[in-house]
Structure 1
Amino acid sequence: MSSAPSRSSTDPVASALVEAAATLSVAIRAVAASNPVVLIDGRSGAGKTSLARALVARWPLRGRVQLVALDSLYPGWDGLDAGVDLAREQILVPHARGLIGVWQRWDWDAAQPAEAHAVDPSLPLIVEGSGLLTAVTARLGDVRVWLESPPESRRQRALSRDGDAFRPHWDQWAAQEDRHVAGDEPRRLATHVFAIP
């Protein structure tokens, strides 16, 4: 066993995400279903993708879990609401009805839809992305997560991840998130709220 300190013991963000994933693992087991749906929302850079990946890595049920990131559905930089609508219509509603959902990846470089992907309703599902928790989508999620994180921390993480592609669109995207937070009150719709430093 290594005597080197673990990353999570020195990185407060990693520690918060590990703790959140552990808490959600318990909540997922408590749903007592073979195909629960987990929805993860939060502003850009809050840690949604990292939490989703951590949750996949420690998935508490037998078999595999499907993961869909709304970054693959948003149709461009003005597409927050449209991406959520696509997720609801093509992924969440079919899954809830026991039907195979089919969604198309948005090709950001070509600015058009690309290949199609299927979602198996018999398997559990994690969907993560900004704008995801609304009054309608909340009814389709068994475990609903809202991540809180300070604006400067979020901006630093998002821009270090996406760099020059995101920088010119930061304010444009943030305005859409502002409307979502004010109009949909995602924190109120969440079953779990986590603070990410």
Structure 2
Amino acid sequence: MHALASRIRRLAPSCGPVRLVGVDGHAGSGKSTFAGRLAEALDGAPVLRLDDIASHDELFAWTGRLLGEVIRPLSRGETARYSAYDWRARRFGPPRPLPPAPVVLVEGVGAGRRALRPYLALLLWMDVPEEESWSRGRRRDGEEQREFWDRWVAAERRHFAGDPSRPYAQLLVRQCETGYEVLRGPAGTAGANHAITEGDGPSAVG
């Protein structure tokens, strides 16, 4: 993981002074866990979770708020402020600050959407099949969220049918028994295949 972090630090800024890194994939594919570990390897890089941007009324129609509240301020080198959605209370909370750190991770379904890609220094795709991802998510959330998941699956299918992310990912991430394997993605360059497991040294990713 530290090797991938080292590679990200060497990327050119993509959103003002920020190296914006997207972590996309189907719901339940492990994006949050992976992004959290990557953030630790990046010495506590901020993580914007798109679950905080979306809402019951706007599962995917949040591009305007993301650009206005987050992307444009960061592109000017300013601290962004966005209102995080409370999925239980069904309302947005008070604004949260997001500083223009050297690296900011954007994690969630739709992190690689076309409106966001011009601002990304790197796009990673959690390479877990949709049905397996959704099954994981349903088990995690339990029966009380069954109706929501039925609605979500239909909405996610529509989103990726019209605005796919995986074809534009430079790297694919696959979970292994001892960590993660990171491989060249559809939009990657030749020679970018790397196996990364927990505890790897800085030479694992060039």
Cα displacement (A) at 1:123 = 4.2
Q: Secondary structure at the match of 1:135?
A: coil
CA distance in 1 between counterparts of 2:65 and 2:2 reads 29
1:38-73 deviation digits (Å, cap 9, x = unpaired): 1111110111101101101212xxx54111111122
Partner SS state of residue 166, structure 1: helix
Match for residue 68 of structure 1? 48
Which of 40, 47, 58 is matched with 2:30 structurally? Answer: 47
Provide the secondary structure at the position in 2 that maps to 1:116.
strand
Give SS of 2:100's match: coil
For 2:95 and 2:51, the matched residues in 1 are separated by 15
- Percent identity of equivalent pairs: 28
> CA 1:22 to 1:102, structure 2 compared with 1: closer, same or farther past 3 Å?
same
Matched, 1:37 2:37: no
The one-letter amino acid paired with 1:58 is A
Is the contact between residue 9 and residue 103 of structure 2 (CA under 8 Å) also seen in structure 1? no
For 1:183, the equivalent position in structure 2 comes to: 162
What's the counterpart of residue 17 of structure 1? none
Identify the range of structure 1 (162-171 vs 49-58) with the bigger mean alpha-carbon deviation.
Answer: 162-171
Offset at residue 103 of structure 1 (A): 0.4
Match of 2:60 among 58, 81, 84: 81
- Matched residue type, 1:185: P
State the partner residue of 2:128: 149
- The answer as to whether partners of 1:134 and 1:186 remain within 8 angstroms in 2 is yes
- Please give the TM-score of this superposition, normalised by the length of structure 1: 0.77
What secondary structure, in the 3-state scheme, does the structure 1 residue paired with 2:88 have? coil
Partners of 2:162 and 2:48 in 1: CA distance: 24
Aligned to 1:174: 153
The answer to whether the Cα contact below 8 Å between 1:66 and 1:123 also exists between their aligned partners in 2 is no
Alignment check: 8 A CA contact 1:38 1:143 kept: yes
Distance 1:135 1:104, change over 3 A: same
More helix by share: 1
| Alignment size in residue pairs | 173
- Report deviation, 1:153: 2.6
What SS does structure 1 have at the residue aligned with 2:60? helix
| Off by >4 Å, runs of 4+ in structure 1 | none
Q: Which residue of 2 aligns with 1:57?
A: 40
Alignment of 1:103 with 2:86, yes or no, is no
Considering fraction of residues, name the structure with more strand. Answer: 2
RMSD of aligned residue pairs (Cα, Å): 2.2
* 1:43 alignment partner, SS class: coil
Determine the structure 1 residue equivalent to 2:103: 124
Equivalent position of 2:200 in the other structure: none
